[in-house]
Every structure is written in structure tokens, then in C-alpha cells.
A and B are shown apart, each in its own frame.
With several copies, the nearest count.
Chain A
Amino acid sequence: MPDIMGIINLSEDETAMRDIAKYRPIGAIPIAGRYRVIDFVLSNMVNIGIHNVSIFTQGKSRSIVEHLGHGKEWDLDRKKDGLFIFNPYVNPKDSTFHKGDIKNFIDQLDYIKLSKQKYVFLSRSYMICNVNLQDAFKYHKDSGADITLLYKKMQGEKDKFINCDNLTINEAGKVISVGKNIGKESNFNISMEMCFLKKSLFIDIIENSISKGETMYLKQAILQQVRKLNVNGYAFDGYLGCINSIENYYRVNMELLDIETSKELFYKNGYIYTNVKDEPPTKYTETANVTNSMVANGCIIEGTVERCVISRGVKIGKNAVVKDCVIMQKCSIEEGAVLQNVILDKNIEVSSGIELRGASKKPLVIMKNQKI
């Protein structure tokens, strides 16, 4: 068991996610037929034996709490350590609400200090990958850096990581500066917003931000250190998906229809765990006609499905035609309905005869719990 505590900071920019992040943080968005976005980083952590994980929310935590439960599926339902979910503390009497996420970390400084682990692995949820954190941690320790930031070298794919952090790294592997990717360069280093550092340094950074009062966001506080400290980069070269806009969300789902990509993401450095739903097998009837699609359990498929990601418990009726769609759990598409380039949030009933079409670059998004 490595001497690391894991911290997932769900303070993420949700503005480009449109309606699917209206009632849930990005970490709780359903993806790839049976997962939530947060499952990937959480599984990466437990796969190397991290068993003290805290999740700092922005307040919209109900869907995260429901999804993670007591952490049983990640083997985090423990007496000592385990899974902790921290919401920003709101004082109902004075009704003040602090801007920025750093207040939440300040409030939980006791928990962080009392945790027995010496190192912190700090991450967000929106970067999807299956990374061997053991190797990255070893690199961090061996290199003697104060902070090791994980990144991926990109060639091409300009528009895939718009608005992500762009690292300038020298030949020695040291991070010189951090900028923003605005899609101009073709060769660049995308920060995965995952890093290793000593817990004592992490505490220093937070306490510093209290005493100086300059920073409201943890990320700012850490980036201020880049010039002062020895910050290294660790290059990851596997599949990296970025869920920071609805277009990217759609893109990642479609990319997983490549079986080699999805085998890497789901198996390479350990399994990806998620909340199980005890769904029965998926039933294909005589009239089903499914190609190039990913289908989760509990579905009943009677229609035509092409290039789709179909979540648990979806029903697709006879003569329904569903192409290039992401269908979340418990949707029901009735006889003869036609959908193309659509993202259906969960629990949507599409009636017989309805046709919905988006564009391949601008998928149509339908909000959850509707009958259309």
C-alpha cells in the first residue's frame, strides 16, 4: 500500500457542459454506458492501493453521494481511512457563501493533517484515462521534485483540449510555465491536472493562501508555486479523454467505439470500478440490428442501432432507428422513432414517430426525465 492520500477536487468549470451538468457536477455525469466521469480517476487510485480518498465538492453533491455510496465498489468502505465527501460549509445564520474552492480545503485541514499518509495525489475528475499511478509516483519520488504534474504530449488534435492547461517543459523535464491551450499550436503538453506532492507541502500551500488571502482557488495557489519550487512533469502516453464541454463529452463516447481504445481504457493498468446496478443481461430480439455500438446490461433491443453508446436499462422498440447517439440509462425509444446525433440524458421516453436530429459537431442534448 503506497503512502498516499487521494484528493479529488470537483470544483470544475461546468459552463460548457450545458444541461447535463445542470443538476450534477461533471464527476457525476454518466459516460460510456455504465460509468460516471469520476470512476476513472477513483479507480486509478484504488488500483495502486490508495485507500484514503476525499472528494471536495462545490455543493451539488447529491448525485455523487448516491453514486459512490459508502465506497463499497471501490473497496473504500473502511473503518480506518476510506472515502470522505466534503461539501463547502454554509453557515445558515449569516448566509455567506465563499467564492472559490480553497475555503473547503481550509475547513477540512484537520482531516488532511490527521491522515497518516505522507504524500498527496491531487486530481480533478474530468480527465479520463487509465494511468499507472505507481509508475508516476515512483518517478515523483526518484526525481526528488516538490511537485510532479502529469501531462500528455499532444501532436495535432488541436481542438480536443481547448481551454486546458498547457505546460512548457524543459529538456530536464521541469515545468517552466503553465499557460492555456487556445487551439493554436499543434505540438503541446496538456496538463492532466493530476499531481503528486508531499502532504506537508500541500498543507503549506493551503495555509499560505489563508494568511495571504490572495487566492480563492486551490489551482491558483498551486500554480503560484511553479516558479518557486521544483515542479516536474511526468509524461503519460495512453488514451486521454477530456470532459470539459458537451462536444468533448460526445467525442469521448464516440472514441470508445474503437475497441482498441476502450480495451486500453477499461483494462490496461487495472479495472475501472463503478456502482453496480444488478441489471439482467441485455436482450436482443429477432428484429434487432445493432452494429458498431457499445451496449450496457439490462437493455431490450428490438430496433436498429448504429455507432451508439447505450446505457443500462434502455429500451429500443421495433423499427426505431438510433444512429450516432449517446443514450443514458433508462431511456425508452419507442417503435419507429428516429434519432441521430442526439445525447439523451437519463430517463427520457421518446414516443413513437418522433424524429430528433443534431449535427455531428453539435449534438442535440435532451434534458433528463422527460417524455417527448
Chain B
Amino acid sequence: MSREKKEIIAMLLAGGQGSRLNMLTEKIAKPAVPFGGKYRIIDFTLSNCSNSGIDTVGVLTQYRPLELNRHIGIGSPWDLDRKDGGVTILAPFMGAEGGRWYKGTANAIYENFHFIEQYDPEYVLVLSGDHIYKMDYSLMLDYHKERASEATIAVITVPWEDTNKFGIMNVDDESRIVEFEEKPKQAKSNLASMGIYIFNWKTLRRYLAEDESDRKSHHDFGKNIIPNMLHDGISMYSYVFNGYWKDVGEVKSLWESNMDLLKEDNTLDLYDRNWKIYSKNPVNPPHYISSTGKVKSSLLNEGCVIHGEVNNCVLFPGVEVGRNSIVNDSVIMPDVKIGENVSIRKSIIMSKVIIPDFTVIEDRENNEVVLINE
């Protein structure tokens, strides 16, 4: 018995360019986008792994990985700097037959077949790096084992009017999945796939290999692997998740999910000491509110210096707000310097932007979220 043998390993798909987030992801992969005052989107998934006792995580990436590489480093913040396992960034590579970029979510896993095999896992947890939620995957694994399931898919109930935006699971009384519909016009259920799968590795391995040789396939879990498994009558269960879950796929939803954190009834509790969200910690002193500063209903972080007024905002580390400036309902990313007599409302200001004195930022006409980049 080698210590390298693992019961379960996680494969985290972090390749997305996330073009709907436009300017935010011009230089960085979507999972590296800052969120919630001191995190990046991927921190939630990595922290979930760490807190669930999963110590081996492959992060699949091919789009502008520098920022993500720097952020993840050797995995120390998540206690994933392990001797065996830990976090490994898996970029596409060149084999004897030439180089291949990942063609789809399933193909990305297939290309890293050897990485998975070295741990000889019973189960593989497939995750996506661009959702905000806290979830104990070990409970989902218990459920998977109890049901003797071969593939378990985490689902969440969504409003009926949104069902056409998701992959919808139709399940029987025992939560067994009987049908899967990708963005149905007339949904039969409002259970949406969260893109979180536990597979028996042996089963998944077979389907990935078959899918790889199927020329018509999109090599995608939702479009190909899951439907093929269903078609063959593989034992598949849905696992219902209750709690905060958000796909921050657009500028508006990114803004909204940040604003969610300021609500009194917010269910994404960042203060739970038993389920900390880990991130790279900046090296900054405590934040400082001067004698002219005023802060209400906001999240602040280390290194901020506030001489002005901040209401209903999320401020990342190192933000400065000058005298007589007022910032309302906004997300201000790391190291933004806001001058004096500035007025900002309902905006996202990207990292390191400098806002000169007397600037006014707000979309008065349409009341949309304003995004300011360098």
C-alpha cells in the first residue's frame, strides 16, 4: 500500500476565458477574478476541497494561467503543498504526436489520464472553478457510496423561469437521474446541475476513452458523457445542495454576488471558523479609517486607508479613498487609489486603477453596473 493511492481526487476545470466577464478576464482566467473583498473565485472551490479532506487536486488550465499560477503557487494557503498529491496545475502538453489543446471539459480530463492514474483513485470529483459556494464534498461522497452510485451530480433548485439557462435533471422518487436536458425550453423539473460530479473512476475512464474516439462529440460532460451514461443505464443519482450558490458569469452577477455579502440575511457565511475560505494573504497592515473617514454597511480589508465616505461597498486590500470622496454600492478591487472629491456609485473598479480627484463614475441613464479598467 503506497501512500500515493488516494480514495478520491478532484479535477478542477479552470480553463475558462469567461468572455461574458469581458474586461475582467482580458488578462486573467475567470477563476482568478477577485471576489468578496479578499478572495478569487477559485478560492471557494479549493477551500471546499481542503475543508472536505481532499488533498489531491488537479487544476486544468490553458488560458492565461500566469495570474492563476501565481495565485495558487505551491498551494500553501489551502494546505495543498503536500509531499504526495497537493495541487498540480495541468496545462496542455505536447506528446510524440504533437501538441493538443483541450477540446472540451471531458477531453481536458482525458488528456490528463496519466495524472489521475498515478493516484489510482476509486472516485474522481469533477469541479468547475467559477462558482461561489461552500460545500462539503465528503458528505456528497458518503451519499455516492451509500447509493452505490456510479455517477452522482450535485443539483440545486432554481426558479422555474431560469430553468432554460441550466442543465436540468429529471429524477425519480429515489433521486435517481432518469433524464438530463440541457437548457430545456419546457423543463420538467427545476433541479439544475451545479457542474459538480463524483464518478467511479473505472466507469468514467471507460466513457472518456469511448468519447475520445467519437469524432462527432463535443467532448463535454453535459453534452456527451452524462447523456451517454444515462443512455446505457449507468446508476446515476442527484445530490441536492441547499445553500448559497452563484455562477458569477457576468459583470452584473459578479456585482450582485458581492453585494449579497452585505445583506443581513446573507447565507454565504464567511465568518464560520469551521469552514474558512482560504486565499493568498496580502502583506498589509490593518486598514485605517481617519478622522474624516466614514464607513457603513461595507467589507474592508487590510491595507485600506479611508479618508472619505464608504457605503455598501466591498473594498479589497490596499484601497485608498481620499477626503470628501463618496463611494456607494460598489466593488473596489485591490490597490485602487481613489482621489479626493470623487463620487462613485454602482461600479466595479478593477485592480490598481487610479481615479483622479473630482471624477464622477455612475451610469445615471440606465443604472447599469459600470466597469472601470486601466
Q: Do A and B come into direct contact in the complex, CB within 8 Å?
A: yes
CA distance A50 to B2 in the complex (A): 15
Contacts of B57-85 to chain A: CB distance below 8 A: 76-77, 79, 82-84
Decide yes or no whether A273 CB sits under 8 A from chain B. yes
Chain B contacts for A271, CB-based, 8 A: 2-3, 283
Q: Mark A246-282, 1 if CB is under 8 A from B, else 0.
A: 0000000000010100100110011111001010111
Decide yes or no whether A283 CB sits under 8 A from chain B. yes
CA distance A281 to B282 in the complex (A): 12
Which residue, A259, A265, A270, A290, has most C-beta atoms of chain B within 10 A?
A: A290
Q: How far is the CB of A22 from chain B (nearest CB, A)?
A: 25
Given A262-B285, A280-B277, A281-B36, A297-B301 contact (CB < 8 Å): yes
CA distance A201 to B37 in the complex (A): 44
Decide yes or no whether A73 CB sits under 8 A from chain B. yes
Given A259-B290, A271-B3, A281-B300 contact (CB < 8 Å): yes
Q: How far is the CB of A270 from chain B (nearest CB, A)?
A: 5
Which residue, A80, A271, A280, A291, has most C-beta atoms of chain B within 10 A?
A: A280
Decide yes or no whether B295 CB sits under 8 A from chain A. yes
| Residue in contact with A278 in the complex, picked from B82, B83, B281, B300, CB distance below 8 Å | B281
| Residue in contact with B296 in the complex, picked from A72, A288, A310, CB distance below 8 Å | A288
Decide yes or no whether A46 CB sits under 8 A from chain B. yes
* Contact present for B302 and A280 (CB under 8 Å): no
Q: How far is the CB of B180 from chain A (nearest CB, A)?
A: 33
* Contact present for B270 and A292 (CB under 8 Å): no
| Residue in contact with A297 in the complex, picked from B84, B290, B295, B302, CB distance below 8 Å | B302
18 A–B contacts, CB within 8 A, in A order: A32-B285, A75-B3, A75-B82, A266-B285, A271-B3, A271-B283, A278-B281, A280-B38, A280-B271, A281-B270, A282-B299, A288-B297, A291-B293, A292-B290, A295-B287, A296-B286, A296-B287, A297-B302
Which residue, A32, A281, A286, A294, has most C-beta atoms of chain B within 10 A?
A: A281
B305 to A, closest residue via Cβ:
A259
* Contact present for B284 and A266 (CB under 8 Å): yes
Given A47-B3, A270-B1, A292-B291, A281-B285 contact (CB < 8 Å): no
* Contact present for A269 and B295 (CB under 8 Å): no
Q: How far is the CB of B145 from chain A (nearest CB, A)?
A: 15
A82 to B, closest residue via Cβ:
B79
Which residue, A282, A294, A300, has most C-beta atoms of chain B within 10 A?
A: A282
Decide yes or no whether B205 CB sits under 8 A from chain A. no
| Residue in contact with A281 in the complex, picked from B1, B38, B283, CB distance below 8 Å | B38
* Contact present for B285 and A280 (CB under 8 Å): no
Chain B contacts for A33, CB-based, 8 A: 285-286
Q: How far is the CB of A285 from chain B (nearest CB, A)?
A: 6
Decide yes or no whether A78 CB sits under 8 A from chain B. yes
Chain B contacts for A300, CB-based, 8 A: 271
| Residue in contact with B79 in the complex, picked from A79, A266, A283, A286, CB distance below 8 Å | A79
Decide yes or no whether A359 CB sits under 8 A from chain B. no
Decide yes or no whether A172 CB sits under 8 A from chain B. no
Chain B contacts for A281, CB-based, 8 A: 36-38, 270, 299-301, 314-315
A287 to B, closest residue via Cβ:
B296
* Contact present for B297 and A285 (CB under 8 Å): yes
A78 to B, closest residue via Cβ:
B79
Count of A interface residues, CB-CB < 8 Å: 46
Chain A contacts for B299, CB-based, 8 A: 281-284
* Contact present for B3 and A291 (CB under 8 Å): no
Chain B contacts for A262, CB-based, 8 A: 285, 288
Q: Mark A206-245, 1 if CB is under 8 A from B, else 0.
A: 0000000000000000000000000000000000000000
Decide yes or no whether B276 CB sits under 8 A from chain A. yes
Decide yes or no whether A11 CB sits under 8 A from chain B. no
Q: How far is the CB of A327 from chain B (nearest CB, A)?
A: 11
A residues near B (Cβ < 8 Å) are 1, 32-34, 46-47, 72-73, 75, 78-80, 257, 259, 262, 265-266, 269-273, 276, 278, 280-286, 288-298, 300, 309-311
Known: A269-B1, A293-B288, A294-B285. 7 other contacts (CB 8 A): A32-B285, A72-B76, A72-B83, A284-B297, A284-B298, A291-B293, A291-B294
Q: How far is the CB of B269 from chain A (nearest CB, A)?
A: 9
Contacts of B238-283 to chain A: CB distance below 8 A: 270-271, 276-279, 281, 283
Q: How far is the CB of A279 from chain B (nearest CB, A)?
A: 9
Chain A contacts for B37, CB-based, 8 A: 280-281
Chain A contacts for B104, CB-based, 8 A: none
Decide yes or no whether B356 CB sits under 8 A from chain A. no
CA distance A293 to B292 in the complex (A): 11
Q: How far is the CB of B78 from chain A (nearest CB, A)?
A: 8
* Contact present for A293 and B289 (CB under 8 Å): yes
B301 to A, closest residue via Cβ:
A281
5 smallest A-B Cβ distances: which pairs? A281-B37, A33-B286, A281-B299, A280-B270, A276-B281
* Contact present for B38 and A284 (CB under 8 Å): no
CA distance A283 to B281 in the complex (A): 18
| Residue in contact with B276 in the complex, picked from A278, A309, A311, CB distance below 8 Å | A278
A294 to B, closest residue via Cβ:
B286
Which residue, B2, B3, B76, B276, has most C-beta atoms of chain A within 10 A?
A: B3
Contacts of B191-244 to chain A: CB distance below 8 A: none
* Contact present for B296 and A285 (CB under 8 Å): yes
A269 to B, closest residue via Cβ:
B1
Given A34-B302, A284-B300, A290-B288 contact (CB < 8 Å): no
CA distance A1 to B54 in the complex (A): 10
A297 to B, closest residue via Cβ:
B302
Chain B contacts for A272, CB-based, 8 A: 283, 285
Q: How far is the CB of B146 from chain A (nearest CB, A)?
A: 18
Which residue, B76, B276, B281, B285, has most C-beta atoms of chain A within 10 A?
A: B285
* Contact present for B53 and A1 (CB under 8 Å): yes
Chain A contacts for B53, CB-based, 8 A: 1
Given A281-B301, A293-B289, A273-B283 contact (CB < 8 Å): yes
CA distance A352 to B186 in the complex (A): 56
Q: How far is the CB of A296 from chain B (nearest CB, A)?
A: 4
Given A73-B83, A259-B288, A266-B285, A278-B1 contact (CB < 8 Å): no
